[in-house]
Structure 1
């Protein structure tokens, strides 16, 4: 094991890292975007990848089988905010947007997408009036995500109280329109069923025939991806789970093999991983 790399705290995590280092060409490195490659900010439209993220990804990408960004954002938005397009060394990068409903491949520079769920358009039209009737919490706002709609409470005077007060009513609204409610860090997302990061990640791992998988995330929406890696490990594919440290989401930290200090920690880990793979070669 290369000493400069952080050591996973679990035996399964150590096995996952060892497998990646032993056969990097068969490894998938999958990463959430917001909170993992980019800091969480009050306005999601202002989120951008950590300044060193592209350099770290560019150093790692030629050493491993594949790098995938798995996000609830539209794929094209993640590409723009990440600065991933047209970067030498990232020709094989894949962005699985909208929890896998959209896919951007760097090799073609195009987005492929499934047909939108009709319930999203219905919720989009109904949601402003619905929130007014629910109490019009000052500071609560709606984010249009194309194939999903999100309600943010982070700017409210009491973000946690607003979050808890709206979770039940928004869950009923989602169900009425055939959608599901996905809670996050002071955000409630209404989106189609059958879309989550676990489904997207497991499908991609099967597609490329990965021999090992690393997944890094920070939020409740990353729990399905953690579960997918745990299932892969149970079936014989080594995996490493990394938490982009957050006191807001202890559920993720408790299941991680390794915790790092936010996007800066993730980026530093990826850079060290690239060095370690080169040294092992």
Structure 2
């Protein structure tokens, strides 16, 4: 292991990417900046991770971003990001690139589709104890982390059966969640957008869920992708848990400030 408890390969990659001309530091939130918790509203970033991330946002030629599946309002409430941090919510359906960024507006067709999804998820939640519905600006989420495995599987199956193969709906499965959106967006497209608007010459991205794989595959030569936790991944590097992320951000900060 290298310094700060990181593997030698990851340590070297962080030091190398930290020396790029303009760095984009993009992080997933739940399961990455913050440990996973039973109730989404109780999530908070690990203090050491939040401190290093905030410090990075103040470093010259460095852009920070949070790229999350949460709705932007929820992300702001639990993450309390630095003022200059760019935000991506709802897996890319919502984007905040600074003051003046337009809010999300659905078409009449999308609003109708969202209402149909809401009805299907409401019925599943009513029939399967422990499941919870979350409404987002672009869709609806079925949470089943607190349900029994049987109830969770039944709720997911019921929602999928009710919605059928509607081409106007985009379904994503994550860790104990089923998300149905009326907008086709993903974290890979979002990361490409963030790279463009920030003029980044390199990107470092960390994430834990299957929805983060789109972002990992959007990374190029010279970028650094870090998978948090177990599971198959396209990321070149891995850390065991969110508790190891502060070491990543602190090394990034130290090298960025004193190259």
Which 5+ residue runs of structure 2 have no aligned equivalent?
Answer: none
User: Which one of 51, 73, 77 corresponds to residue 55 of structure 1?
Assistant: 51
Does structure 1 residue 258 correspond to structure 2 residue 252? no
Q: Are 1:278 and 2:257 counterparts?
A: yes
CA distance in 2, matches of 1:77, 1:263: 20
Match among 51, 71, 74 for residue 71 of structure 2: 74
SS in 2 for 1:198: helix
Report the secondary structure of 1:178's partner residue. coil
The structural deviation recorded for 1:202 is 1.0
Question: Which residues of structure 1 form unaligned runs of 5+?
Answer: 85-89
Post-superposition Cα deviations, 1:28-62, rounded to whole Å, max 9, x if no partner, equal: 11111111111111111222222233211122223
* Secondary structure at the counterpart of residue 184 of structure 2: coil
- Residue 87 of structure 1 corresponds to none
Please give the secondary structure, in 1, of the residue aligned with 2:193. helix
Q: Give the TM-score of the pair, scaled to structure 1.
A: 0.79
**2:129 corresponding residue in structure 1:** 138
- Give the alignment's TM-score, normalised by structure 2: 0.85
1:122 correspondence with 2:130: no
One of 81, 85, 102 as aligned partner of 1:93? 85
What are the superposed Cα offsets for residues 108-145 of structure 1, whole Å, 9 maximum, x if unpaired?
3x76323133222221133222555xxx2321221222
The CA deviation at 1:189 is: 0.7
**Shift, 1:227, TM fit:** 1.2
Specify whether residues 141 and 77 from structure 1 end up closer, same or farther in structure 2 by C-alpha distance, changes over 3 A only. closer
Q: Give a deviation string over 1:77-127, Cα, whole Å, max 9, x none.
A: 21121122xxxxx3421111122232335x63x763231332222211332
Q: Identify which of 131, 137, 148 aligns with 1:157.
A: 148
- 1:212 aligns to 2:212 (yes or no): no
* 1:170 equivalent in alignment to 2:159: yes
> Partners of 2:200 and 2:87 in 1: how far apart?
17
Is the partner of 1:151 in helix, strand or coil? strand
1:130 and 1:167 map into 2 onto residues whose CA distance is 8
In the alignment, is the contact (CA less than 8 A) between 1:75 and 1:111 conserved in 2? Answer: no
Alpha-carbon separation, structure 1, partners of 2:121 and 2:244: 37
1:241 to 2:232 alignment: no
Any conservation in 1 of the 2:131–2:152 contact (CA below 8 Å)? no
Count of aligned positions: 252
Separation (CA, whole Å) in 1 of partners of 2:39 and 2:4: 35
Please tell me the root mean square deviation across aligned C-alpha atoms, in Å.
2.6
Q: Which residues of 2 match residues 170-209 of structure 1 at below 5 A? A: 170-172=159-161, 173=163, 175-176=165-166, 178-209=168-199
SS in 2 for 1:268: helix
- Measured after TM superposition, the shift of residue 226 of structure 1 is 0.9
The separation in 2 between residues aligned to 1:123 and 1:79, in whole angstroms, is 25
> How far apart in 2 are the matches of 1:33 and 1:256?
17
Match of 1:72, SS state, is coil
In the alignment, the residues of structure 1 paired with residue 78 and residue 248 of structure 2 have an alpha-carbon distance, to the nearest angstrom, of 21
